[in-house]
Structure 1
Amino acid sequence: MKKSTLITSIACLFMMLLSVNMEAQKFSSLDKSPLDVTAYPSSSKETSKLVKVVYSRPQLKERELSTLVPNGKVWRTGANEAANITLYKDMKIGEKAVKAGEYSLFTIPGEKEWTIILNKDINVWGAYSYKETNDVIRISAPVSSGDSLEAFSIAFADDGTMYLGWDTVRVAVPFTI
């Protein structure tokens, strides 16, 4: 009898601890600007990537792009943390050589062109602590237009061009080895 009481007591204690632990696990709701990853080459069958970009995807939600991303101001190129770009090999972005490594990707939007910035500061929130002195490169990229995109998006074309798109704005940034 004592043995069964002991086993029952241990089982009850275990269930109580499990219940407390389950209640302690609080999961946050889905992020309103979900994290995304794009890479080049973009084919999932290609395992040897040259570039990877990790960024958050803000939504327009009936707002004007010009109020979310004002021309002439440094932008984190997405939402939340500044976009993170990893080059797995030395590359050229536009005509500028960049060593393999991990960088933050900032942009300065403009009407006809955007300034694309790779900065050596990583793991930074937004552009609040952005320091121009830590820029690795700055290049200009032309603006074109396309169909409206609700969510900010980054994608690579087969030729290595990285496209930034949001609303009807498209920016093409060439990457080459």
Structure 2
Amino acid sequence: MKKTSIIATMAFGIMMVCTSNANAQKFPGLDKSPMDMAAYPNDYKDANKTARIIYGRPQLKGRALSELTPTGKLWRTGANEAPEITFYKDVKLGKTTIKAGSYSLFTIPEKDSYTIIINKDINVSGSSTYKEANDVARLKVPVTEGDEALEAFSMVFTKGDTGIILNLGWDKVRVAVPFTE
């Protein structure tokens, strides 16, 4: 009888500790620049992916794009951490082969072009710890203008003639980054 009551008391004590720990958890509010993901092929049912990118989506919120992406300055290409781009097979950016794996994406915005940078460092907080020596590939691509302004920075992959295109859009700025297979 004593054993049963001790076991029951111990079990109740453990249950109380677990319950009080679960109630003590604090959860942060929603991120003002939520994380998003784009992949190619876009169909979530197709597991045979070529690439995937995870990035933060900053909003304009009445600010000028030039404030958020200064001309000639390295930009982490989104909000919070630099985007992580994963290639599931070898691809080329310009003439440079990028081996399958995960990388960070940076850009240098200019008035008429963006320099696209694939860097081997991942889990990079912003651009403050960027190391040019770890660049895997760079390519300058032209900027075009979209018909509609996008409030949130957005990325999407589309099929290209010889591979895939990573499309960047924010406000009326549009940048198409071609990766060949």
Q: TM-score, normalised by structure 2?
A: 0.88
Say if 2:76 and 2:107, in contact at 8 Å, map to a contact too: yes
Task: Check the 8 A contact 2:93/2:138 in 1, yes or no.
Answer: no
Report the equivalent of 1:158. Answer: 159
Greater alpha carbon shift after TM alignment, 90-99 vs 53-62: 90-99
- One-letter amino acid matched to 1:105: L
Change (3 A) 1:9 1:158: same
* Structure 1 length-normalised TM: 0.90
Partner AA of 1:25 in structure 2: Q
User: CA shift at 1:89, angstroms?
Assistant: 0.9
Number of residue pairs matched by the alignment: 177
SS at match of 1:170: strand
1:45 to partner: Cα distance: 2.9
Q: Distance in 2 between matches of 1:17 and 1:60?
A: 45
Q: 1:12 to 1:71 in 2, by over 3 A?
A: same
The residue number in structure 2 matching 1:87 is: 87
Q: What is aligned with 1:96?
A: 96
Distance 1:6 1:53 in 2: 54
Tell me by how many angstroms 1:18 deviates: 4.0
User: What is the match of residue 50 of structure 1?
Assistant: 50
Question: 1:23-172 alignment to 2 at 5 Å?
Answer: 23-146=23-146, 147-159=148-160, 160-172=164-176
* Stretch deviating more after TM superposition (9-18 or 113-122): 9-18
Kept in 2: contact 1:42–1:158 (CA 8 A): no
| Residue pair 1:56, 1:83 contacting (<8 A) in 2 also | yes
Provide closer, same or farther for how the CA distance between residues 115 and 10 of structure 1 changes in structure 2, counting only shifts above 3 A.
same
Note the C-alpha offset of 1:96: 2.7
Cα separation, 1, equivalents of 2:21 and 2:151: 40
Which ranges in structure 2 are unaligned for 5 or more consecutive residues?
none
Q: CA deviation at 1:136?
A: 0.8
Shift of 1:6: 6.7
Report the secondary structure of 2:79's partner residue. Answer: coil
Structure 1 unpaired stretches of 5+? none
Secondary structure of 1:80's counterpart equals strand
By how many angstroms is 1:102 displaced? 1.3
Amino acid in structure 1 at the alignment position of 2:153: F
Q: Secondary structure at the match of 2:89?
A: coil
Q: Is the 8 A contact 1:94 1:173 kept in 2?
A: no
Percent identity reads 56
Cα deviation, 1:101-154, whole Å, max 9, x if unaligned, reads: 211100000110000000111111000011111111110111011111111111
